Structures are given as structure tokens and as C-alpha cells.
Amino acid sequence: MGNAERENRWFKFYFASWYRKSPYFQRTVEAGCTSWDLYNHMLIPTLYDDDVAEYWHLLEHVALWDVAVERQVEIRGPDALRFTQLLTPRDLSGLEVGQCRYVVLCAPDGGIVNDPVLLRLAEDHIWLSIADSDALLYALGVQAFAGLDVEIREPDVSPLQVQGPKSKPLVRKLFGEEVASLRYYRCAHAELDGIPLVVSRTGWTGEVGYELYLRDSSRGLDLWDAVMEAGREFQIRATAPSDQRRMEAGIFNYGNDMDITNNPFEVTGLERLVELDNDNEVIARAALERIRAEGVRRKLVGVRIEGPPLGMWLEDFWPVRAGDRVVGRLTSASHSPRLGINMGYAWVPIELAALGTPLVIASPDGPMDAEVVPLPFWDPGKQIPRS
Amino acid sequence: MGNAERENRWFKFYFASWYRKSPYFQRTVEAGCTSWDLYNHMLIPTLYDDDVAEYWHLLEHVALWDVAVERQVEIRGPDALRFTQLLTPRDLSGLEVGQCRYVVLCAPDGGIVNDPVLLRLAEDHIWLSIADSDALLYALGVQAFAGLDVEIREPDVSPLQVQGPKSKPLVRKLFGEEVASLRYYRCAHAELDGIPLVVSRTGWTGEVGYELYLRDSSRGLDLWDAVMEAGREFQIRATAPSDQRRMEAGIFNYGNDMDITNNPFEVTGLERLVELDNDNEVIARAALERIRAEGVRRKLVGVRIEGPPLGMWLEDFWPVRAGDRVVGRLTSASHSPRLGINMGYAWVPIELAALGTPLVIASPDGPMDAEVVPLPFWDPGKQIPRS
């Protein structure tokens, strides 16, 4: 039995026209999806039958995720790269066509607007594959007075993720050796039975994996069927994104672990996304340079939590205590089946952020001992560098 | 029996830390709320027990709505009004302190970013009480290069709506005659048992009504309890926002009826929000002037739909046909108990937008005859002007 049935409360949620459905929606229902989340105003599968079984399937075979909720912010035009550089402190100056980057978009005060994967599809053509916030609106706001020649919109693009060790032979079978051999954080144009696609070597797992960006939503069922048919020999199955696996990889969930009120220096692992030793024009430059000079007062850190295996995810943030004081909050927690530990992310004052610091998590069932640990939780030889 | 049980499909939705809860959440559970929606990344009550009973209660007594999902975009500073004017084509030049306006925020191409109620709290202090999109990000993007002296953030503000004919004596009892006598689209600072508030004479119904903007979320339960206690003699009850009543009033639901791909000239009743016969600096000015000169090719219109009473709301948009062609889509539909008709909003080509035009709605149960009609559906002597 998975964690869901043990732990999490639910309520009746009515389908409604104001929640967009993905072009794969019908197939996810047929594949047994029983619960959805809302993300970028669209339904995303949360659970088929058992999150632990789905986790193991991802690790051992190949999993197919409907992640059409990863909407794209498309920036096109002669100034596309220069405009995109305004939005992010990552240095895009060496970015080649066909290259991807994990970036943070920052507001004028350094706050994190979103943490998308950037794809450079052509000299003048960029996609930001976004997490759950209307980053399109931020880009449109910047466009108003930036004085640059770009067109910005949400194009008709609906990604699937194929993740897990057998995703590579599957992608080889579908698209050939060249696409299957894409290096990590590279992308390429592709086609399947006349369906226009972009394929990237990225994903939300840390496993070997790819994303298939469908460029014509009217072909959604065709694409799903073709992938499932080709994947049969690799034991492909539809699953929901795995909170356990993304936490093992030290990946954050925007809007839950961090939001617009946080800056990248406050989040373990995102500091490296601030690259300002250059002359790039970046909206958040002044704020981020000031924050770097002054230091931060709080930090989102990884914690290992003692005690019995925790449930599927948190229903509410849990308080973090040091002695008798509430000093922060736990934003994510999940049990790693293969590590046999409870993983967590916690906001703590900077003086309690050092590795090895003991903390107490005030769970609804009572206090649980915890300790600040390095991220990621699972990193076998760092064989997959985050790019 | 309400419409919900007759019609609408639902699934299991798990509570999760990434869905913000309102400061009134616990009380809505205790009051019998059985279903929530997601709006601005936060849970909002959708249904207590019976949407038709809740509709009649609103019309006859007073209803209390948890609308903490109406997040505020706060714009403060010496240039607050000038900055806000950039975002909207409504003319704000005569806007007094204590005045509110229903506005559209527009992107550089004229697309609708959001349709908030604007409150001018002080010379240098404005709130935009937003619909369901991250309008904060649009404002932060504009701030990047606007060169104006403003601070922009989401403050700790959580509105309640008290709506219905008995809301006036209730507000009088709570806050005194001055607040109860606020003219339509006026607001005032107020306090209740030391709880800091702003009260406005606005709402999502067309009924007599007020919004209570709680300015300290730690006092949410106190405010709820004080309002319920004072409201007992007026038969107050907690209900969900009424889709029937908002449609009777010709009010739209952003993200469902219209979105960023639409401009205000395309939506019946929003044309009047474009006021550009002045020298105001407005980001969308050039685009909107061009659209006005060229005319629009499609329009969101009100339709009356024949046949048996429709259910609570649409699960998907329904196709609109003229003859054998699909020409548009129905975005909202609801049955008005007091009018005894089915109300709808439909996107149609401009040549089919004239009053009296016959249409056919392709419902899942078969074709339904419809006709373009004026908005609002219910407007008894226009006793409540929209400001």
C-alpha cells in the first residue's frame, strides 16, 4: 500500500471549465489516474494507484508523465537572448542553440519569480519551461519598457516526460540514435509520424530521462499512443511525478519550497545560479549583489528526519523548533524507499543552517528529531551533473 | 437538491502544503464546506451543501464568503497612481482617496492580464484586489524599467464578502452608520475589536454587499466569529460564491470567460473600461487604439439557452454552432432560479454577436437552441450602478 491511503486527507473536487485539461487528459483517465493537482491553471496527474509502486517503476523501468502543465514562455525575435538575460542572473552569454539551462527568474528585488528550464531552439527563439507561476506576465511586464525587439506568448506546447533507465532505449526506438544520445541539458527538433516535437535530455527526477515537447495539441492522443506502443517492451507505464524521487535529487517545488519572497541565495543549491561576474544587463543585479554582500538571514536546507516513514507529502507546513522556540518551517517531506530515510526541506535561521545542526520537527503526531544534511540525498557518483 | 449532485463529476483532491489555506479555513470546514476550488494558489470554498439553497439565502438574507483568494497587489510610494495608470486603460486621473474602480490590467498587446477592483487607500497607497492570475508578477515586470518610485508586494490582506440585502444592517451593527452608508465603490479604514480592516462597498454579486479586508491574518478566526455572532439576527450563513448570481449581474470569471489572449473590446461590457481620450501614459495605449480603429473579429456575448435547467457549471467549454459550423464556444452556463432561464456567455464571430442572433449550443446531451441577449441578465432598474 502506498503512502496516500495511510496519510493524506482529501475532498471532492469538481471538474470545471476554468481548469485547463492537458491534451493527454483522456489517456490519463484511461490509464487509471485517480487524482489530479492544479498547476499553471491546468490539471496534472497526482496519483494513479500507489505512489511507492510508481516510484519503483520509475527507478527500474520507464515512466510516462503528463506534464503539459509545464507551460512555455516563448521569447522570439532579434533580441530574444538579450531580453531573456534581463530576467535571470545565470550567465547566458555562452548559450548555444540546442542547449538548455536550469535558471531562476528574478524580480527587481531578487525574489524568485519562477525556476524554469530554458531551451534555446534557435538564435532568436527561446522557451522557458515554467514551474507553477504566471511567469508569462512577468515577461510581458518587462517587455513594456525594455525597448527590445521580442514577441512573447504562450505557444501551443504540451510536454510529456519519459523518465527512468529504459527511457534511453525507448527514445532511441522512437527518434533514433541522435536524439537518444543527446547530452544532458541539450535539446533537438524531432518528428514522429508527422507530429512536430522538441526533445530535451532533462526531467524532474535525476534519473536518465527526456522531455517530449508536443507542438500541436490536436495530436496529443496520437503522441501518447505512439509512446505507449513503443514502450510496451520496456514495461512503460503512466505514473504521476514522484515527490520522493525529486527530493532524492535535491529538486525544489516552486510555490511550496520557495516563492517570490525568497531569493536564490537563501536556497541551498540555487546560489550557483547567480552568475554576475560579467557585464550582463540583469534586472535583479543590484539587489542580488547587495544580498550577496550582506549575506542572508535564513536558508532552505535539507534535513534528515528520524522516526517512522512519513506519508506522501505534507498537508501543511510543519513548525521547526530549536529548543523551545519555533525557528522555521518544514516545506517538504517524503520517505525514500531505497535510502530508508525521511527526507525534508526546512527553512531555518542562517545560524542553524550548518550541516549537522540538530533540529526538532513539530509534526502533528509529536516531535521528530532531525538534522541538517547535504543535498542531494541521492547522488550516485554524481553521474548526472545538473547543468 | 442543488445542481451539483445532479450534474458535475468530481475526483479525490488531496490537501497539500502547496495550496495556501485562508485564515478562515478552519471555520469554513466547521460551517460545513464540502468542496474547494483553487484560485491564486489558495483554496476557496466552492460548495457547502446545495448551490440553489445558497443562492436563495444570498438573495433573501446575508451570505458570508471566504474570499481570501482575492489577493492584493499593493503599490505604494510617491508614484503609486502614475504607476498604476500604466497598467490600466481606465482613466484614474480623478480617482479620490477612498474611491474604488473596477479595472482591466492590460499587457503591451492589449491582452487582459487581470480584472481587479482597485482601491485607493491613501494618496500614495493603492491595492489591486485581483482575480485568478499572478498580476503581482506583471506589476514587478513593469517596475523593472518604468523608472517610477513605488514599492510593490502582496500584503497580508484576506478579504471576506458579506453580500445580500441584510448585509447593510449587519455592517451598521459591526462598524456604525458611516461605514454602512458608504456609497457604491467607496472604501474606508475600519477596526473591530482591535482587528485592522478596510471595508469597501463592492462584491461579486450585484446585490447590496461589502468586502471586509482583514489586514492581519492572525486575527482571521476572531473576525469570522465576530461577523457570525453579529449576523445571527440577520440569518447570516457561510456560502460559496454564487455562479448563478454573478452571471445574473453580467460579471465575468477571469481565466474562464476571458484571459490574456483576449482584449477588453472583445468582451461585452468591458469596452467601457477603455478610457483613452486623455494624455495618460498607459502601456497598452497603442495596441488598444489600433484595435479600436480596426474593430474586433470575435466577441464574448450573453446568451439565453432554451431547454431544461442546466447544472452547476460547465465541466468543459461547449461548442457553439451556427448551421453546421462550429463558430465558437460557451464558457459559462448556469440556471437562474428567479428568472427561470438558462444564462450563458459565448465567444462568437463578430458577425454573430448582434442581439437576437440565433445560435445552437452543442451540449454533451444534444443541441440546445440559444439567442444572443443583452447583459446583465438581471438588472432591476439599474439600482446598483457598476462604478
What integer pLDDT is reported at residue A8 of this predicted model?
80
Q: Hey, are the CB atoms on B9 and A15 less than 8 Å from each other?
A: yes
> Does residue A54 register a pLDDT over 50?
yes
Neighbours of B173 (CB within 10 A): 14
- Whether A52 and A162 share a structural domain: yes
**Cβ proximity of A261 and A307 under 8 Å:** no
Classify residue B127: in a domain, yes or no: no
Given B18, B19, B145, which is nearest A145 (Cβ)? B145
Residues A279, A366: one domain? Answer: yes
Report pLDDT for A7. 62
Of all residues in chain A, the percent with pLDDT exceeding 90 is 93
pLDDT of A5 higher than 70: no
pLDDT number for residue B5: 44
Same domain, A18 and A57: yes
Contact A338/B at CB under 8 A: no
Tell whether omega for the bond before A376 is within 30 degrees of 0, i.e. cis: yes
Q: What is the pTM of this model?
A: 0.96
Per CB-CB distance under 8 Å, the chain B contacts of A142 are 141-142, 144-145
pLDDT per position as a tens digit, B236-267:
999 999 999 999 999 999 999 999 999 999 99
Position with higher pLDDT, A382 vs A284: A284
Q: Is the pLDDT of residue B1 over 60?
A: no
Q: Do B108 and A332 touch (CB under 8 A)?
A: no
Nearest to A357 by CA among A295, A301, A298, A297: A301
Q: How many domains does chain A have?
A: 2
All three cell numbers of B310: 442546466
ipTM, 2 decimals? 0.96
Residue B288 inside a domain? The answer is yes
Residue A208 lies in a domain: yes
Task: Chain A: give the shortest CA distance to residue B166, in Å.
Answer: 31
Distance from CA of B112 to the nearest CA of A (A): 10
Interfacial B residues in 128-147 facing A (CB < 8 Å): 132-147
Q: What is the pLDDT of residues A199-222, one digit of tens each?
A: 999 999 989 999 999 999 999 999
B253 and B346 inside one domain: yes
> What tens digit of pLDDT does each residue of A154-175 get?
999 999 999 999 999 999 999 9
* pLDDT reading at A366 higher than 90: yes
- Average pLDDT for B343-363: 98
**Cross-chain CB nearest to A140 (options B19, B138, B143):** B138
| Residues from chain B contacting residue A41 (CB–CB below 8 Å) | 132, 255
Mark which of B219, B246, B273 sits at the end of a domain. B246
Beta bridge partners of B370: B305, B359
Q: Has residue A1 got a pLDDT over 60?
A: no
* Partner A contacted by B365 (CB < 8 A): no
Residue B107 forms part of a structural domain: no
**Are A300 and A180 found together in one domain?**
no
* Residue B114 included in any domain: no
Nearest to B17 among A47, A283, A316 (CB): A316
Distance between CA atoms of residues A234 and A212, nearest Å:
17
**Which domain-ending residue is among A230, A246, A262?**
A246
DSSP A310: P
Quick one: B240 and B279 in the same domain? no
For residue A4, the model assigns a pLDDT of: 42
Looking at residue B7, its pLDDT comes to 62
pLDDT value, residue A386 = 41
User: With contact defined as beta carbons under 8 Å apart, do A66 and A117 qualify?
Assistant: no
Asked, for residue A124, whether it belongs to a domain, the answer is: no
Q: pLDDT-derived band of residue B323, with 50, 70 and 90 as boundaries?
A: confident
- What is the rounded (10 degree) CA torsion for A261, A263, A265, A271? 140
Please indicate, yes or no, whether residues B235 and B304 belong to a single structural domain of this protein. Answer: no
A224 shares its domain with A283: no
B chain contacts of residue A138, beta-carbon cutoff 8 Å = 134, 137-138, 140-141
Same domain, B261 and B318: yes
Which of B 92-131 lie inside 8 A of A, CB atoms?
A: 107-108, 111, 113
CB contact under 8 Å between B37 and A15, yes or no, is no
Instruction: Looking at the structure, tell me whether residues B64 and B209 fall in a common domain.
Output: yes
**What is d(CA B281, CA B312) in angstroms, rounded to the nearest whole number?**
42
Query: What mean pLDDT comes out for the span A359-381?
Result: 93
Mean pLDDT over each residue of chain A, to the nearest integer:
95
CATH number at residue A342: 3.30.1360.120
Which pLDDT value is given to residue A379? 80
What is the percentage of chain A residues whose pLDDT exceeds 70? 96
Pair (A223, A344) in one structural domain: no
A170 Cα to chain B: minimum distance (Å): 32
Query: Range of A333's domain?
Result: 247-376
Using CA atoms, how far residue B254 sits from A113, A221, B39, B80, B313, in Å, is 22, 29, 11, 25, 15
Within 8 A of B317 by CB-CB distance, chain A residues are 17
Residue A298, burial from CB neighbour count under 10 angstroms (0-12, 13-18, 19+): middle
- Between CA B68 and CA B366 the distance in angstroms is 39
Q: Between A and B, how many CB-CB pairs are < 8 A?
A: 177
Q: Is residue A383 part of a domain?
A: no
Identify the domain boundary among B246, B269, B292: B246
**What does the pLDDT look like over B59-95, one tens digit per residue?**
999 999 999 999 999 999 999 999 999 999 999 999 9
Average pLDDT, chain B: 95
Q: Is A198 helix (H, G, I), strand (E, B) or coil?
A: strand
Please, which residues bridge with residue B37 across strands? B44
Q: Is the pLDDT of residue A384 over 60?
A: no
Q: In terms of domains, do A50 and A166 share one?
A: yes
Q: Assign A319 to helix, strand or coil.
A: strand
| Structural domain includes residue B336 | yes
The mean pLDDT value for B33-42 works out to 96
Instruction: Output the pLDDT for position B312.
Output: 81
**B240 Cβ contact partners less than 8 Å away, ≥ 6 residues apart:** B33, B44, B45, B46, B47, B48, B51, B54, B65
Mean pLDDT of A337-354: 97
